[in-house]
Amino acid sequence: MTAATHEEWLRRAKALEPLRAHLIDGAEEAGGGSTFSAVSPRDGQVLTEVADGGAAEIDAAVAAARRAFDHGPWPRLAPADRGRVLVRLADLLEEHRAELALTVSLEMGKPVRDAHDIELRALIGTFRWYGQLADKLTDESPHTAPDALALVTREPAGVVGAVVPWNFPLTLAGWKVAPALAAGCTVVLKPSENSPLSALLLGRIALEAGLPPGVLNVVNGDGPVAGRALGLHPDVDVLAFTGSTAVGRHFLRYSADSNLKRVWLELGGKSPNIVLPDAPDLEKAAATAAWGIFFNQGEMCTAPSRLLVHSSIAEQVTEAVVARARALRVGDPLDPATEMGALVGESHLERVLGHVRGGGEDGARLRTGGARTLTGTGGVYLEPTVFDRVAPDSRLAREEVFGPVLSVLAFDDLDEAVALANATEYGLAAGLWTSDLSTAHRVSRALRAGTVWVNCYEEGDLTVPFGGMKQSGNGRDKSAHALEKYTELKTTWIQL
């Protein structure tokens, strides 16, 4: 399907019939009857009217998940049997790959090529990986005195509420749903109101794969209503959230005000990307910096939004990034030639433009971009934007923009670079470019970030954990460590 033409994707889009109802206890449910419009940022057109859930729908979904956990077969299946269902789900997601990619592209503006080749590859790989892992976990039997036997077992935690954002609507859903299901939990998934359609399709395909009713439920709705109801629900045992730091604070309060459910947060970032003069390939470093900030329209929590460059090479690297930004093809997400698509919506565009205006007011120099583009399409498009001479204490250097806006800061020595990199409330990711092995190790240890990439960016696979420090959150997605969020440790002491 990656070879499909623009015209073929347009034909598929015209024929697409998105799902609209909640998925509760294995059935499509219209809920109370209220709806909201799913608007495509590529052209401003309404894709469909989606069922709008609130407390009643969340109650129904949580009740279904609770029944499925307390009385259903899923937690009681042999791990190998659960794993086979997840692998079957991965196979079916591959069969529906084009439809899922098209749905993601239409609802949130991502280039369809990226949705197909990157987002769906991640989703399919995640379910397959956890399906294959499900029967390879082990419990513990610590050494004790001869007259006793101790067992430490991992048990599924119960009902999981998963709240995921719109920027990678399927990847981030998979990172939470797959390990929760592998552990034997049941799930209520609340997608962003900006990207409900792909989550509904995922839920339907999961039923086809053999998930029993109630094991995976999908409820659409606004965060302050449906999300709040899920966070406060006394029958939810674990809440996993990816999104803004401000909303993460709300979920912690919801836990305190309800049943003290465990809350796992993957939040914002203001990731530094440090380029030293001894970088093995300055052109590659610049190209990767440009790709990293403009990929997915800059709507990434790990986006390398602060480019920290040694003053001796700052102009050279900045010029290379600016050249790539100016050459980037912004256009219709359904055109395979498009390199940067539409931002998710009008309100988000205005927020990003507010940061652009603030950058100029704070004295930064606009090198390229900074304006809305393709206004005749009815869509939400922004030029790739680069600022240099950014002051370390400015809003542009400290606040998460979540758009295609790069801040370039110069430094004179390594200690200053590390200090600048860590001068943020966030700690999600960081990059470092150097040829010196000792420098790579020392700086990586000094950076307060959950992931540090050396001479690359956004690399890795499912064997390694992902998550943040400081106000970028807690807990980890990906890898076997993700299962720690969805299991409880039980000690059994047997006196012989």
Backbone angles phi, psi at 164, to 5 degrees: -125, 155
Other beta carbons less than 10 A from residue 173's beta carbon: 28
Is 301 an annotated catalytic residue? Answer: yes
- The SS3 call for residue 339 is coil
Q: Which residue has the tokens 């420090």?
A: 469
Cβ 263 vs Cβ 239: under 8 Å: yes
- Give the H/E segment covering residue 251: helix 245-257
d(CA 400, CA 394): 12
Cβ 329 vs Cβ 339: under 8 Å: yes
Contacts of 445 (CB under 8 A, 6+ apart): none
Other beta carbons less than 10 A from residue 389's beta carbon: 16
Q: DSSP code of 297?
A: G
Contacts of 136 (CB under 8 A, 6+ apart): none
Q: Which residue has the tokens 């999981």?
A: 160
- Give the H/E segment covering residue 219: none
Tell how strand 262-266 and strand 426-427 pair up: unpaired
CA angle 187, 193, 197 (to 5 degrees): 70
Q: Which two tokens stand for residue 43?
A: 């052209």
Cβ 325 vs Cβ 384: under 8 Å: yes
Between helices 169-183 and 120-133, what is the axis angle to 10°? 10
Is 456 an annotated catalytic residue? Answer: no
Cβ 93 vs Cβ 124: under 8 Å: yes
Catalytic, out of 185, 193, 299, 301:
301
Catalytic, out of 29, 107, 193, 266:
266
d(CA 419, CA 446): 9
Q: DSSP code of 140?
A: B
d(CA 232, CA 254): 5
Question: 224 exposed, middle or buried (CB, 10 Å; 0-12, 13-18, 19+)?
Answer: exposed
Overall size of the chain counted in residues: 496
Residues with a known catalytic role = 266, 301
